[in-house]
Chain A
Amino acid sequence: MEADDQTSGAMIDEIYANGGDEEKCRRPIISGEQLDVEAYASLYKGHTKILRLLFIADHCENNQTMQLEALRMVYDEIKNGENTQLFREVVQKIDGRLGTNYGMDEAWCDMVDRRAEQKKEKLDNELNAYRTNLIKESIRMGYNDFGDFYYAHGQLADAFKSYVRTRDYCTTSKHIIHMCMSAILVSIEMGQFPHATNYVSKAEQTPEALDPATIAMLRCAAGLANLEAKKYKLAARKFLETGQVLGNNYNEVIAPQDVATYGGLCALATFDRTELKNKVIDNLSFRNFLELVPEVRELINDFYSSHYASCLDYLGNLKANLLLDIHLHDHIETLYDQIRHKALIQYAHPFVTVDLRMMADAFKTSVAGLEKELEALITDNQIQARIDSHNKILYARHADQRNATFQRVLQTGSEFDRDVKSMLLRANLIKHDCNLRQSRRL
């Protein structure tokens, strides 16, 4: 018996001390260091690479080296493309800080612009010819080429219009899918996420079965759209459904690492324990994604096994880098808050009494700060408990159903009483009005 007590006592200590120092030593936090811009950029291609790098450059003003590094890569990347407008802006941003090699290249701009002019004319002529001949397929191709042309030159709204116009000339579901994918790509880049959702569902409605890669891409696009619309739970579902085939196929929008991060964080913020276990931790295909970002995998596992301190440590370390993410930065605070709240709720849930000092230790915060957080959660009715601020103990509160029922009955009774009385009064007034009108008529 005594031995039993001792072990259980030891166990309780362990529970209280979860996320303690011992844990931390065993698993050093890796991702504390600065974002490796080059490695990050290599994950993407096309416009999103430029946009993501520009975003980083815009948002790390206090880190000159990183900013210049990002701008340098943007410069190189744009030189491979045809967007002279953006080129001029970037050169202005660099402002000669990267030496003469990264200055204004008027000759290149002129050349590209001239070529663009010619190409546009050519495309225009071609399209007109097709239209007079009424060859459906050619018209579609013509519009599609126009879309590609505008897209390459950064005229997104025009590109979107051209892509959408091809819709009337689509003959097979393959064409429709192609149209939808182009439209999604452009609308994501424009930040018009409702359009993206729209075209995702259009693509999913095509009668023919889609190939797995396309499905994965569509899931990602839908996930992004939901994320931007702050529907985190839906976003998490979509990311979790993304198949392993995604690979590097959708690099012009999203990297598999992002799927893991976005999906993982959204799931952590919105799923309950069983869902977290079934849909995230036991999800084989998503596990492969998680392998790419070990920090996220670790923090999800930590959260599930209630090592909140280490989980929150990971989150804290990731935060700086996630704030530089073009899609996630707006939502980081909300997601982090939700994750923290869920951790607090889960921590407090199994206990009848919780020592606030130990809880504060587990969450690496002060008792006063913890009290404030708990107060907010209790006011929101997310934790059924009350705080003994004198002894620093949290007491779970069990609703007394009998009393509550009595109170509710009495309240309902008096409400009924009041409502019926005022209703009768109103009825009498209306009747009076009726009688008055009648007597006037007589």
Chain B
Amino acid sequence: MDPMEALVAQIRGLSSCAGDLSRLQSILKQADDSLRFDSTRLSAVLSQLDPSKHSLGCLYILEASTAGPVSKEQADILVPVIARFINSSAAEHIRMAPDKFASVCKRLKDQVMLLNVPVRGVAPLLTAVRKLQTTTEHLTPLHPEFLLLCLLSKCYKAGLSILEDDVFEIDQPRDLFLYCYYGGMICIGQKRFKKALELLHNVVTAPMSTINAIAVEAYKKYILVSLIQHGQFSTNLPKYTSSVAQRNLKGFCQPYYELANIYSTGKIAELESYVETNREKFENDNNLGLVKQVVLSMYKQNIQRLTQTYLTLSLQDIANTVHLNSPKEAETHVLQMIQDGEIFATINQKDGMVRFLEDPEQHKSCEMIEHIDSSIQRIMALSRKLTAMDEQISCDQLYLSKAGRERHRYDFDDFDSVPQRFNI
């Protein structure tokens, strides 16, 4: 009997229960090399198997068959095959070999990129992410790949759906860096600057032993988004930032620092001329669009400031103080801001006056109470998680041995007290 046929038979026989599956996996692992050797016949073999029932076997064979370099024509055939497999495969099967699954999915990504149709990979990868992750808090290696495809195909909404989940469990730090960086970009694309800031912040402050390009690029965007969102940027990184980042980031982002400096003076003309002279630098970083948004946000900041000081102000005066060309332009800006809920005001077109109002939110509606209640629930859950994590760490053998080792005075009598010392 041909070894390949034997293998197919085993896959068919051993795909039903958990005990059989682990046996099958060890068989497949042994056969992995020969599978690669026989890669030409694999597509035929594959057609004899049902991807929804024999997922594990299919996975190994598919992985082996796609190992080599692929031409465009081949890719065109392979993409639907892999996509079909991802859609129909059984989650418990593929979780037994996450590496294989991830590598198949990455190949799918490479192939759609090769074909220049990233949009074809978005839906399969989203399914793949959902199948591979055990809980929504789990960050799989597929997250960044999926977000990258979303970015390239401009399917920002699809990307947002997985960004809503908070991730805590991480397989590879690099995945997190890329996940947060791409995620930040998607949020910027959707103008959800608050979330973007959060994600980029995670990249910049993540523990790292050497500076990396992802962190540098993320920091550049972080500066710009922070200016757009808050109208200011503090050059001091929080103290939990790794020392490498604290030392080095500034050097890589000099033009951005200066931009933030000029922004803080509140002078539109200077900002614009600075952007114009450094246009090339920003363009090379692919940040020019964002920089332009920064410039626009300055008008908003300045108008916002006016609401603090004035009750009524004519459009002409607004145009003058904010350095807009005409009252008409000022009106558009104010109108836009009212629509976006950034300021509360009414425009009287008869005499060209804007009347700034206080925030009408009285915090006594049912919705507000519900909102507050849900916030409290959320924070309580978070707090429970924190306590659990703390307990887990204070019982962690590795941590305890390290903490015990690093105590300067090693004393047998004290040794028992070590765990208590780190309880909160």
Q: A residues engaging B (CB < 8 A)? A: 374-375, 378-379, 386-391, 395, 402-403, 406-407, 409-410, 413-414, 416-418, 420-435, 438
| A272 and B97 alpha carbons, distance in the complex (Å) | 75
Instruction: Report yes or no: A416 in contact with B379, Cβ–Cβ below 8 A.
Output: yes
5 A-B pairs within 8 Å (CB atoms) are namely A378-B309, A390-B351, A390-B355, A429-B173, A438-B398
User: How far, in whole Å, are A418 and B378 apart by their CA atoms in the complex?
Assistant: 11
- Among residues of B, the one whose C-beta sits closest to the C-beta of A405 is B363
A424 and B385 alpha carbons, distance in the complex (Å):
9
Q: Which residues of A contact B103 (CB under 8 A)?
A: none
- Pick the contact of A425 from B168, B355, B368 — CB < 8 Å? B168
Q: Is the interface of B mostly helix, strand, loop or mixed?
A: helix
User: Judging by beta carbons under 8 Å apart, are B314 and A432 in contact?
Assistant: no
Q: Tell whether, in the assembled complex, residue A388 and residue B207 are in contact, meaning their CB atoms are under 8 Å apart.
A: no
Min distance, Cβ B375 to any Cβ of chain A, angstroms: 5
Q: Cβ of B371: which chain A residues have Cβ within 8 Å of it?
A: 410
Q: Which of B311, B312, B368 has the most CB of A within 10 A?
A: B311
B361 / chain A contacts, CB cutoff of 8 Å: 403
Provide the residues of chain B in CB contact with A387, threshold 8 Å: 309-311, 313
Q: Is B167 an interface residue when CB atoms closer than 8 A count as contact?
A: yes
Q: Say whether, besides A413-B375, A421-B382, A422-B202, A378 and B170 are in contact (CB < 8 Å).
A: no
A406 vs B396: C-alpha distance when bound (angstroms): 40
Cβ of B359 within 8 Å of any chain A Cβ, yes or no, is yes
Q: Which B residues are CB-close (under 8 A) to A416? A: 379, 382
The residues in B between 215 and 247 inclusive whose CB is less than 8 angstroms from any CB of A are: 240
CB distance from A370 to the nearest CB of B (A): 13
Q: B136 contacts the other chain (Cβ, under 8 Å)?
A: no
A390 touches B309 (CB 8 A): no
Chain A residues in 8 Å Cβ range of B206: 425-426, 429
Give chain B interface residues in 298-322, CB to chain A under 8 Å.
Answer: 305, 308-314, 317
C-alpha gap A253/B389 in the complex (Å): 70
From A379, A386, A403, B359 is in contact (CB under 8 Å) with A403
**CB distance B389 to A389 under 8 Å?**
no
Verify if B87 is at the interface (C-beta below 8 Å from A): no
Nearest chain A residue, comparing its CB with the CB of B177 = A429
Which residues on B sit within 8 Å (CB–CB) of A431? Answer: 393, 396
Could you tell me the distance in whole angstroms from the C-beta of A394 to the nearest C-beta in chain B? 9
Check A435–B398 contact: CB distance below 8 A.
Answer: yes
Provided the pairs A389-B317, A422-B205 are in contact, do residues A434 and B398 lie with their beta carbons within 8 angstroms?
A: yes
Contacts of A438 in B (CB 8 A): 398
Query: What residues of chain A lie closer than 8 Å to B337, measured between beta carbons?
Result: none
Smallest Cβ distance from B174 to chain A, in angstroms?
11
Question: Which of A378, A413, A423, A426 has the most B CB atoms < 10 Å from its CB?
Answer: A426
Q: Are A425 and B375 neighbours in the complex by a CB distance under 8 Å? A: no
